[in-house]
Amino acid sequence: MSIETKKLGLIEKLMQIKEEGILKQYENLLKQAHLQYRAEESIKAIEDGQTITLSVFKTENEEWLNNSTTK
């Protein structure tokens, strides 16, 4: 089963939910799973040495901000 098929199956199940409380529970589960995934990816990146210094991060953010506000 492809990932797209799985996504469509989940969407179909969500569309059948009639109670807002149950839908909110699913929403919270999805948020929690997404945060868990992001945390695991961050830990992996750190272990792989894919990090930058805080000063480089700050400089890149300032450059991005300057470029995005001038457009």
Taking the C-alpha atoms of residue 14 and residue 22, their distance in angstroms, rounded to an integer, is: 10
pLDDT in tens, 10-19: 999 999 999 9
**pLDDT tier, 71 (very low <50, low <70, confident <90, very high otherwise):** low
* Local structure of 66: helix, strand or coil: helix
Residue in this structure with the two tokens 């930058």, named with its chain if needed = 52
Q: 23 with 14: CB under 8 angstroms?
A: yes
Q: Is the pLDDT of residue 69 over 80?
A: no
pLDDT in tens, 35-66: 999 999 999 999 999 999 999 999 999 999 99
**pLDDT tier, 68 (very low <50, low <70, confident <90, very high otherwise):** confident
Read off the pTM.
0.64
